Structure 1
Amino acid sequence: MQSNASGIRKARVVVLKTGSTYPDLKARFGDFDQWFLRGLSDELDITVANAEAGELPGNPEDWDGIVVTGSPAMVSDRAEWSENAGRWLVRAVESEVPVLGVCYGHQLLAHALGGEAGYHPKGRETGTHEVELLPAAASDALFRDLPTRFPAQLTHRQSVLRLPEGAVLLGRNRFEPHQAFRVGPCAWGVQFHPEFTDAVMSAYLRVQAPDLTREGLDAEALMSGVKPAPDASSLLPRFSQLVKDRLR
């Protein structure tokens, strides 16, 4: 157990890794878990658990915070490892352990809590796109103080098609009605990627370009539209601070 200079133990956060990025991107930028580690506070005691390989790190109550990564897998396939991780997350939500699910993690959280995840009827959303926050975000512990509209990095073919009962919708855009939600006091799902840099987003689009063209999307326009998304990325230090504050 790690402590800071004042002798107070560091907040313990587990990153549930639910997959890996493209090999070329992994060689250049590292894998999903490393992108989150760069965004989360170095004042946290962070452990990475490979949920895709069946690793579930003890009891959810053992942790001060939980982050769930994106994945090339599909929640609707209901793989055994994914369903097990979903049940584990339900216990975390019931115990009011702070949770941040991103992309696959967002969809898995919704599915596990009784919502629905599946293929978006309009296909893929990828690139840098604007997210609009709803009035409920103004009083939300994670989203308050963010601007009403901000750019975010996105790449997904599946979405949260139906929110869990009692979920609070926090963000949306023209393509995706469920960009962000909260369940209970401290479990959040976000469809966008706060861990992506603009360089990572550009690299994704270059890999995806042939598929985007086949799907009728303008790959060149999407690549030229990539820009930094600092407000979206701020969710990782914001979540870090929230977890640390709850430990005090």
Structure 2
Amino acid sequence: MKLTIIQTGDVPVALRSQFGPYRKMFETMFDGTGQGFSYDMVAVSDGEPFPDPGQLEGIVITGSAAGVYDDLPWMNPLRAFIRDAYGKRTPMLGVCFGHQIMGDALGGDVRKSEKGWGLGRHTYGVKGRPDFMRKAPIELAVACSHQDQVIVPPAEADVILSSEFTPNAGLAYRNGAALSFQPHPEFADDYTIALAELRRGKAPDEVVDTALASIAKPSHSGDVAGYIGQFFRGR
């Protein structure tokens, strides 16, 4: 199965020489599931044209430094692409900004949260168990890095992951072919740490320090990657 990565942002320049391009994180994550995915990438944030979602096998919308409220030339075309993909039931995953822009495009309310920065490994309660997550534990700990949140999910979405900080952290859509997560299962721990340190001065020191300490908590990123792999394979 070929996954088309819709790249809406990249690794910050200060970290790119150490951690490489963002697409590689997704490829490494999906390769780790052992499910034999192949990959294509469309860097829409760099002006590359959107493909026809009806011709794609699977779509992955990445994270980004952008917010859904930013006036960027690729933002409305991305919304139209998401709606088209949803209508055609092309399997589609959104992560972080991808989660937010899917929520925005499909009728939800997305904005910068009054709670501030979410950094490090957060723990989310499993609130729903679609077939691909039926064996999930009651909680999943996954890395995150965000200020924006889906405040009100689209009517077509069911909440499957939730925390006090991020109530709408995981959404499964009722067309059966769309899924999104606020946290980043594609992040390795060393990148999560480096990214949190990069936020120092923007996020309060105590938030960054708590984020760094949280990496000692066992990660469920591999489990979430497996669920996502099963989601795509099951479509």
TM-score under structure 1 length normalisation: 0.86
Q: Measure the CA separation in 1 of the matches of 2:65 and 2:217.
A: 23
From 164, 170, 181, the equivalent of 1:174 is 164
Return the match for 1:217 from 206, 211, 220. Answer: 206
- Correspondence for 2:231: 242
How many residue pairs get matched?
Answer: 231
SS of 1:40's partner is helix
CA deviation map 1:99-125 (0-9, x unaligned):
110000000000001112110022111
Deviates more, 1:50-59 or 1:85-94: 50-59
Query: Which secondary structure does the structure 2 equivalent of 1:79 belong to?
Result: coil
In 2 relative to 1, CA 226–33 (structure 1 residues): closer, same or farther, beyond 3 Å?
Answer: same
d(CA) in 1 for partners of 2:126, 2:158: 12
Report percent identity of matched pairs.
23
Q: Quickly say closer, same or farther: Cα 1:123–1:229, change in 2 above 3 A.
A: same
1:91–1:218 distance in 2 versus 1, CA, 3 Å: closer
- Structure 1 unaligned spans of 5+: 1-10
Matches for 1:1-248 after TM superposition, within 5 Å = 11-41=1-31, 43-134=36-127, 137-138=128-129, 140-183=130-173, 184-213=175-204, 217-227=206-216, 230-246=219-235
Residue 84 of structure 1, CA deviation: 0.7
Deviation at 1:46, TM superposition (A): 0.8
Q: Which structure has the larger Rg over C-alpha atoms?
A: 1
- CA positional deviation for 1:230: 4.1
3-state SS of 2:9 partner: coil
Give a deviation string over 1:11-41, Cα, whole Å, max 9, x none. Answer: 1210010011212321111122110010113
In 2, distance between residues paired with 1:117 and 1:142? 26
Q: Following the alignment from structure 1 to structure 2, what is the Cα–Cα distance between the partners of residues 167 and 141?
A: 16
Deviation at 1:232, TM superposition (A): 2.9
| Contact 1:21–1:72 (Cα < 8 Å) also in 2 | no
Please give the alpha-carbon distance, in whole angstroms, between the structure 1 residues aligned to 2:232 and 2:69: 30
Please list the CA deviations of residues 201-237 of structure 1 after superposition, one character each: whole Å capped at 9, or x if unmatched.
1111111122223xx6342232122146542333334
| TM-score, structure 2 as length reference | 0.91
Q: Are the aligned partners of 1:153 and 1:229 in contact in 2 as well (CA < 8 Å)? A: no
Cα gap change, 1:78/1:232 in structure 2, threshold over 3 Å: closer, same or farther? farther
